[in-house]
Amino acid sequence: MKVAHIAAEMAPIAKVGGLGDVVGSLSRALKKQKVDTFVILPKYKIINTQCIKNLKIIKNDLKIFEKNKWQNNKVFQGYVKNVKVYLIDPEKHYFNRDKIYGYKDDVARFLYFCKCALEFLKSNIKDIDVLHLHDWHTAFMAPYYKEIYSKEEHLNIKSIVLSIHNLGYQGQCMAKQLEDIDVNPKLFLHSKKLGHPKKPKTINLLKGGLIYSDAIIPVSPTYAKEILTKKHGHQLSPMLKKFPKNKIKGILNGIDYKTWNPKKDKSLAQNYSSTSSIETILKAKELNKEKLRKYLNLKDKNVPIIASIGRLAEQKAPKLIKHAILKSLKKNAQFVLLGTPFSKEISHTFHKLKRDLKNNRNVSINFKYDECLCHMIYAACDFIIVPSIFEPCGLTQIIGFRYGALPIVRKTGGLADTVFDLQNPKIPKNKKNGFTFKNVSIEELDKTLNRAIKFWYEKQEKFQTQIKKNMKINHCWQKSIKKYIAIYKRLIK
Ligand code: GLC
221 CA from centroid of ligand 1 (Å): 13
Do 146 and 189 belong together in one domain?
yes
Asked, for residue 49, whether it belongs to a domain, the answer is yes
Q: What is the Cα–Cα distance from 454 to 452, expressed in whole angstroms?
A: 5
Is residue 173 a contact partner of residue 202, using CB atoms and an 8 Å limit? Answer: yes
Task: Tell the residue nearest (CA) to atom 6 of ligand 1.
Answer: 18
Do 449 and 483 belong together in one domain?
no
Is the pLDDT at 411 greater than 90? The verdict is yes
Q: Which H helix or E strand runs over 384?
A: strand 383-386
The average pLDDT across 87-101 equals 96
Type of residue numbered 123: S
Provide the residue range defining the domain that includes 17: 2-254+478-492
Asked, for residue 272, whether it belongs to a domain, the answer is no
Top mutation candidate among 393, 410, 418, 419 for ligand 1, by most atoms within 8 Å of CB: 393
Span 342-386, pLDDT tens digits = 999 999 999 999 999 999 999 999 998 889 999 999 999 999 999
The predicted pLDDT at position 368 comes to 87
Asked, for residue 264, whether it belongs to a domain, the answer is no
**pTM for the structure as a whole:** 0.96
Q: Which H helix or E strand runs over 482?
A: helix 477-492
The predicted pLDDT at position 492 comes to 96
Asked, for residue 262, whether it belongs to a domain, the answer is no
Q: What is the Cα–Cα distance from 11 to 25, expressed in whole angstroms?
A: 8
Asked, for residue 462, whether it belongs to a domain, the answer is yes
Do 446 and 484 belong together in one domain?
no
Do 429 and 485 belong together in one domain?
no
Do 358 and 321 belong together in one domain?
yes
The predicted pLDDT at position 369 comes to 82
Is residue 114 a contact partner of residue 70, using CB atoms and an 8 Å limit? Answer: no
CATH number for the domain that contains residue 138: 3.40.50.2000
Is the pLDDT at 230 greater than 90? The verdict is yes
Atom of ligand 1 nearest to the CA of 394: 10
Task: Tell the residue nearest (CA) to atom 12 of ligand 1.
Answer: 165
Top mutation candidate among 395, 399, 410, 411 for ligand 1, by most atoms within 8 Å of CB: 395
Do 227 and 336 belong together in one domain?
no
Contacts 24+ apart (CB under 8 A), 125-128: 125/2, 125/4, 126/154, 126/155, 126/156, 127/2, 127/156, 128/2, 128/3, 128/4, 128/155, 128/156, 128/157, 128/158
The average pLDDT across 283-292 equals 98
Average pLDDT, the chain: 97
220 CA from centroid of ligand 1 (Å): 10
Is the pLDDT at 174 greater than 90? The verdict is yes
Pocket of ligand 1 (CB under 6 A): 17-19, 22, 165-166, 219, 253, 391-395, 414
Asked, for residue 176, whether it belongs to a domain, the answer is yes
Torsions phi, psi of 116, nearest 5? -60, -45
Q: What is the Cα–Cα distance from 193 to 177, expressed in whole angstroms?
A: 16
Do 458 and 483 belong together in one domain?
no
DSSP assignment string, 259-294: TS-TTT-TT-SS---TTS-HHHHHHHHHHHHHHHHH
Buried b (16+ CB within 10 A) or exposed e, 28-56: bbbbeeebebbbbbbbbeebeeebbeebe
The average pLDDT across 197-207 equals 95
The average pLDDT across 182-210 equals 95
Atom of ligand 1 nearest to the CA of 163: 12
22 CA from centroid of ligand 1 (Å): 8
The predicted pLDDT at position 73 comes to 98
Do 246 and 328 belong together in one domain?
no
Is the pLDDT at 153 greater than 90? The verdict is no
Span 300-342, pLDDT tens digits = 999 999 999 999 999 999 999 999 999 999 999 999 999 999 9
350 CA from centroid of ligand 1 (Å): 22
Do 74 and 124 belong together in one domain?
yes
The average pLDDT across 24-53 equals 97
Do 236 and 297 belong together in one domain?
no
Closest C-alpha to 202, from 211, 212, 210, 191: 191
Task: Tell the residue nearest (CA) to atom 5 of ligand 1.
Answer: 18
Asked, for residue 263, whether it belongs to a domain, the answer is no
Confidence band of 163 (pLDDT split at 50, 70, 90): very high
The average pLDDT across 11-17 equals 94
Atom of ligand 1 nearest to the CA of 315: 8
Task: Tell the residue nearest (CA) to atom 7 of ligand 1.
Answer: 18
CB atoms within 10 A of CB 406: 27
The average pLDDT across 415-441 equals 98
Q: Indicate the number of domains in the chain.
A: 2
Asked, for residue 319, whether it belongs to a domain, the answer is yes
The average pLDDT across 146-165 equals 96
Confidence band of 108 (pLDDT split at 50, 70, 90): very high
The average pLDDT across 131-156 equals 97
415 CA from centroid of ligand 1 (Å): 11
The average pLDDT across 93-114 equals 97
